[in-house]
Copies of this chain bind each other. A is one copy, B any other.
Amino acid sequence: MLWRNRATGGAVDEEHVVVWERPERGARGPAAVHSRAELAAVAVTLADRDGLAALSMRRLATALGTGPASLYRYVAGREDLLDLMTDAVTGEIDLDAPLGGDPVADLTALALRTRAVHLRHPWLSDVPPEPLRLGPRGLDYLEYAIRAMADVELPGRAKTEAVALVNALVAQFARVEPRDGDGGDDRRAARAGYLVRAATAGNHPHLAAALADDADVSPRETTEELFERTMRRVIGGLLSDTR
C-alpha cells in the first residue's frame, strides 16, 4: 500500500481522490491544531482582501501562525484549498427559500442570490472552473436547482448542464462588474480607451457605433436589473421545450 498520509492522500496510487472523500482526521495522533474549515475561513478572508492571486500557501500559513509545510496535513495541495473555499462561500447561499413553482422565476432568484456571493467574494470568478468542483454545499445547491426544475420535461443531463451554464453566466457578469479594490479604474480606463481607439482607427463601424451608443445613453437600468432581465431570458430559453 502506498498510503502515507490520511488527510492529504499524498500517494494514493494513481487514483486521486477528491478532498471530500478523504477523512479530515485520523484517530491515532495528537489533536490537530487547525481544521479544514478554519483553513477555508482564513483563506476566504485573505482572498476577499487581497485577491486570489495574492493567496499563497505561505501567506495562508503565516496568517494561521504556522509554516507552509503544516498546511499539507489538512490539504493535498492548492487545488483542495480552492475546493474548500468555493464550497465555503457556496454555503452562504440561502437554500431554504421556498420554490414558487415557476422554474424560470425560481432559478432566476437563485441566480440573483449566487450573484450576491460573487459580489461579496470577487475572487470567486477567478477560481479556475474545474469540471467538477462540488463539495457538500455545492451538492445541496445543485439539488435545490434541479428540484426547481422538477416539472420541466428535460433529460437529466440537460438540467445539470443548464445549472452549469447559468453559473458560468453569473461568473461572467461578476467579472464585468467593477471591482472595488486595487484601483482597477486606471486599468479599466486604459483598456476602454484602447477599445474605442482601435475601433475607430480600424475599419469597425458597427463596433464604433455600439460603443458610441453606449457612451451616449446613460444606463438608467441598474446592473442588477440588467442581470435579472438577462438571466430570466436566458433561463427561459434554456428550459423552453419548443423545438
Q: Is the CB of B214 within 8 A of A157?
A: yes
Contact residues in B for A129 (Cβ distance below 8 Å): 172, 175
Counting every copy of the chain, the complex holds 2
Q: Is the CB of B131 within 8 A of A191?
A: yes
Contact residues in B for A214 (Cβ distance below 8 Å): 155-157, 160
Q: Please tell me which stretch of A63-71, A111-119, A139-147 contacts chain B, meaning at least 4 of its Cβ atoms lie within 8 angstroms of it.
A: A139-147
Q: Does A237 contact B (CB under 8 A)?
A: yes
A positions within 8 Å CB-CB of B: 14-18, 20-21, 126, 128-129, 131-132, 134, 136, 139-140, 142-143, 146-147, 150, 155-161, 164-165, 168-169, 171-172, 175-176, 186-188, 190-192, 194-195, 197-199, 202, 204-207, 209-214, 217, 219, 226, 230, 233-238, 240
* Overall SS of chain A's interface: helix
